[in-house]
Amino acid sequence: MTRPLIASLRGGFIVSCQALENEPLHGPEMMAAMASAAEAGGASAIRANTPQDIAFIKKKCKVPVIGLYKKHYPDSDVYITPTLREVSEVVRAGADIVAIDSTAMARPGNEKLERLIAGVKENFPDTPIMADISTFDEGLEAMKLGADVVSTTMSGYTPYSPQLAGPDFELIGKLAALGRAPVFAEGRIWTVEECLRCYEAGAHAVVIGTAITRPQEIVRRFVTRLKVKAQS
């Protein structure tokens, strides 16, 4: 059964507001301003990284917040909300939905995804789980384990998934065709036409980050295509 909050995002446009420590817009005030701008423009929800950013955004915005916490462990390549510890910080910060890496890559402490999802359900029964996956098999597995929504976030970011320049439309279509759980289209979406294609492929909602909230990458795209000479 689709949870009401997830159902309410049908046809929605979600803006991911993230700036890591090495990015010019890093900081919770900056990300809350970005989220506020996205909300003013009609975003249906915000996706945000770190408990601090989530808490600031929750104070400024009324739309739901999908929270994650990027953290690197020495024994794992999984970094999006890798363990129950990060899940609990994200939920405590006020996230309405929690996004967790649901790929087949080895998790910290070799924990199984099944156990993590069960732990989230037991400890935070009111918080829907968004499973960030990179392949069809991972999406199906996450659905079987009870993820509330599956997102194509990690396609192109695991060594075994297709390394596409644009969105993974095929993955969106195949997962949506299962009709088992809602599917979000996420990753390398830059244009309105690509969004429309995602919805046509069966996406429940579309998530855009970089094309809206990473100005340095937006500028780089223009500069690269226009072959502008950098000022030294």
Tell me which residues touch ligand LRY (CB under 6 A): 16, 18, 68, 80, 153-154, 157, 186-189, 207-211
State the nearest-atom distance from the C-beta of 1 to ligand LRY, in Å: 26
Coil, strand, or helix at residue 92? helix
**Of residues 105, 72, 69, the one with CA closest to residue 88:** 69
Residue 128 is encoded by which pair of tokens? 């829907």
SS3 216: helix
Write down the least CB distance from residue 47 to ligand LRY, Å.
6
The residue (of 104 and 118) whose beta carbon lies closer to ligand LRY is 104
Residue whose CB is less far from ligand LRY, 90 or 154: 154
**Cβ 84 to ligand LRY, closest distance in Å?**
19
- Residue showing the smallest CB distance to ligand LRY in the complex: 209
Token duo for residue 138? 């991972």
- For residue 68, the minimal CB distance to ligand LRY (Å) is 6
For residue 34, give the nearest of 199, 209, 160 by alpha carbon. Answer: 209
Output 44 or 230, the one with its CB closest to ligand LRY. 44
Which residue's CB is nearer to ligand LRY, number 50 or number 153? 153
| 3-class DSSP state of 14 | strand
CA distance 76 to 79: 8
